[in-house]
A and B are shown apart, each in its own frame.
Chain A
Amino acid sequence: MIEHVDEGDAILYMKIGTHATEPLDDIIARKKQEISDAGFSMWGYGGNTCHPRTTVQPFASSHAAEGRVIRLLMQPMHSNHFADPVPADEYSVDGLRWLPVPAGIEVRGSRFALCIRNLEQVHWKLPLEATRVAIGNCRGRRGSLYIKGRVDKACLEVVGSYDLESVSSAGPVAEIGLVAELIKPYSVLLRSDQE
């Protein structure tokens, strides 16, 4: 993944950690194996701020149409996530048509998942002041003002031009430890057989 970003580039930022009682290192190893075996993986997530259909898909599609790579930048955090590690059985792009989760991929304890490849561990910095919210009610708000409290993920656009490996900033900087590339359909809804 190229660390240089330019004005308007698309970044899906999220804080990550233990998920559904599975430690982050175990998740990373499992996801890398899935990408190796299946060519891509699904990274589970939840919350209300990055809904697949109304937020992530339109955000990613519009930027991909401009020829931009959609970067997923993840900031490892110490966290506890006690959701039951129930594996998803089906996924849907539109919430209407459901398909089995592809063989070799397992997503646990999540309502949504990002479709990713090229998962890499890095030591990058993201100056949140040099980003803006790209979509939704808060479109245009600086990332540094948006990411707070319970908001731990966002669809952002880069403001300016910088190298994520060597950027310096007086404002809040997110320590990025894991990156990936989002691929079509970018984000999907999940459900289990119990639903």
Chain B
Amino acid sequence: MIQNRPRPLREFDQIYMKAADMVFQSELVSRWADGSKLAFLGDGDSISVSVAYLKARGIVDRGPATITVFDFDERMVGAINRFADREGLQEILYAVLYNCLDPVPVTLKFDRFYTNPPWGASNGGESVKVFVERGMELVHFDGEGLVVIADRDDDLPWTADVLANVQEFASSKGFYVSCLMPGLHSYHLDDNPELRSCNLMLRSRPGNGREVTSHAVRDPDRLRNFYGEGVAPAVRYIRERHRVDYGKALDIEYQLELWAEA
């Protein structure tokens, strides 16, 4: 599953979770979302693939009924769908190209959402809120969400600010924090390998479900520091350069030197 992940693009905050934590997280998600229709808002980590695969192989005995991944990176979408095809998981696992700044397809209705978004160090968690709001829309404000964000670090005040802001935002949308699991996951993050993320689990209040009208996010104030200070999202999709030899070594990596003729 790790080999199936495209190489991360750091400028889009694609920073991958470490393998041992992926195992823990996947097992947890398989229990948390057992029997449900689960939507992933972005999934560079490949937790979606791991959850589907662990269940299909009988390594865990529970798991979501279906998993739909929404990601703006066509490399991710392609990698997930190719994996699903290869392993016979097409009925369970499916990925679609989607940018969270666009409206969600509200004709779909999911039971739960999962997201590990850009952590909002430079925007007080605004980028987290955008992803969480999309998740809420996909469950029609009636369901549960699992949000993976930076855990509190006493050296880094922004972490506590983001946690507080996201919880406040969730509350304003009719959700409450049903569980917070601190200090869980570590990442391939060169300059802060100690930084951990937590699982922030949200659940809607009774009667919170509603008709959903989803709008594009275009407010410059929300977007100004989306991918870091001064870095607004200019890219709608990361498009995959399609190859006939997908998964094989790139031919620009090597050349062949032949034996001299006798």
A residues near B (Cβ < 8 Å) are 47-49, 51, 53-55, 57-59, 61-62, 94-96, 135-141, 145-146, 149-151, 154, 194-195
| Contact present for B121 and A136 (CB under 8 Å) | yes
| Contact present for A62 and B230 (CB under 8 Å) | yes
Q: How far is the CA of A165 from the CA of B157 in the complex (A)?
A: 33
B residues near A (Cβ < 8 Å) are 10-11, 119, 121-122, 150, 155-158, 189-193, 195, 227-231, 234, 252
With both chains docked as a complex, state the minimum distance between the C-beta of A17 and any C-beta of chain B, in angstroms: 18
Report, nearest first, the 4 A-B pairs whose CB atoms are least far apart. Answer: A58-B230, A49-B191, A54-B228, A48-B190
Q: How far is the CA of A136 from the CA of B252 in the complex (A)?
A: 34
Q: How far is the CA of A54 from the CA of B150 in the complex (A)?
A: 19
Q: Which of A54, A194, A195 contacts B227 (CB 8 A)?
A: A54
| Contact present for A138 and B191 (CB under 8 Å) | yes
Identify the interface centre among B119, B122, B155, B230: most chain A CB within 10 Å of its CB: B230
Q: Which of A49, A135, A140 contacts B228 (CB 8 A)?
A: A135
| Contact present for A51 and B10 (CB under 8 Å) | yes
Closest to B230 in A: A58
Q: Given A47-B190, A139-B121, does the pair A58, B11 have CB atoms closer than 8 Å?
A: no
Q: Could you list some 18 contacts between A and B, CB below 8 A?
A: A49-B190, A51-B11, A53-B11, A54-B228, A62-B229, A62-B230, A95-B11, A135-B228, A135-B229, A136-B229, A137-B119, A137-B150, A137-B156, A137-B192, A138-B192, A139-B121, A140-B157, A151-B191
Q: How far is the CA of A138 from the CA of B11 in the complex (A)?
A: 16
Mostly, the A contact residues are loop
Closest to A59 in B: B229
Which B residues are in CB contact (< 8 Å) with A150? 190
Given contacts A48-B190, A154-B191, 13 further A-B contacts (CB under 8 A): A49-B191, A54-B11, A59-B229, A62-B229, A96-B234, A135-B229, A136-B122, A136-B191, A136-B228, A137-B195, A140-B157, A140-B158, A146-B191
Which A residues are in CB contact (< 8 Å) with B227? 54
Closest to B253 in A: A194
Which A residues are in CB contact (< 8 Å) with B234? 94, 96
Mostly, the B contact residues are loop
Closest to A58 in B: B230
With both chains docked as a complex, state the minimum distance between the C-beta of B240 and any C-beta of chain A, in angstroms: 16
| Contact present for B155 and A137 (CB under 8 Å) | no
Which B residues are in CB contact (< 8 Å) with A135? 122, 228-229
Which A residues are in CB contact (< 8 Å) with B11? 51, 53-54, 95
Q: Given A51-B10, A137-B156, A139-B156, does the pair A58, B231 have CB atoms closer than 8 Å?
A: yes
Which B residues are in CB contact (< 8 Å) with A51? 10-11
Q: Which of A48, A59, A140, A195 contacts B10 (CB 8 A)?
A: A48
Q: Given A138-B156, A139-B156, A139-B158, does the pair A57, B191 have CB atoms closer than 8 Å?
A: no
With both chains docked as a complex, state the minimum distance between the C-beta of B196 and any C-beta of chain A, in angstroms: 12
Identify the interface centre among A48, A135, A137: most chain B CB within 10 Å of its CB: A137
Which A residues are in CB contact (< 8 Å) with B189? 137
| Contact present for A137 and B230 (CB under 8 Å) | no
| Contact present for B155 and A141 (CB under 8 Å) | yes
Q: How far is the CA of A51 from the CA of B228 in the complex (A)?
A: 11
Q: Which of A48, A53, A145, A151 contacts B231 (CB 8 A)?
A: A53
Which A residues are in CB contact (< 8 Å) with B156? 137-141
Q: How far is the CA of A82 from the CA of B230 in the complex (A)?
A: 34
| Contact present for B229 and A137 (CB under 8 Å) | no
With both chains docked as a complex, state the minimum distance between the C-beta of B158 and any C-beta of chain A, in angstroms: 7
With both chains docked as a complex, state the minimum distance between the C-beta of B125 and any C-beta of chain A, in angstroms: 13
Q: How far is the CA of A95 from the CA of B233 in the complex (A)?
A: 13
Q: How far is the CA of A77 from the CA of B69 in the complex (A)?
A: 46
Q: Given A51-B11, A58-B231, does the pair A194, B191 have CB atoms closer than 8 Å?
A: no
With both chains docked as a complex, state the minimum distance between the C-beta of A146 and any C-beta of chain B, in angstroms: 7
Which B residues are in CB contact (< 8 Å) with A195? 252
With both chains docked as a complex, state the minimum distance between the C-beta of A166 and any C-beta of chain B, in angstroms: 30
| Contact present for A137 and B191 (CB under 8 Å) | yes
Q: How far is the CA of A51 from the CA of B191 in the complex (A)?
A: 12
Q: How far is the CA of A94 from the CA of B189 in the complex (A)?
A: 23
With both chains docked as a complex, state the minimum distance between the C-beta of B238 and any C-beta of chain A, in angstroms: 11
Closest to B228 in A: A54
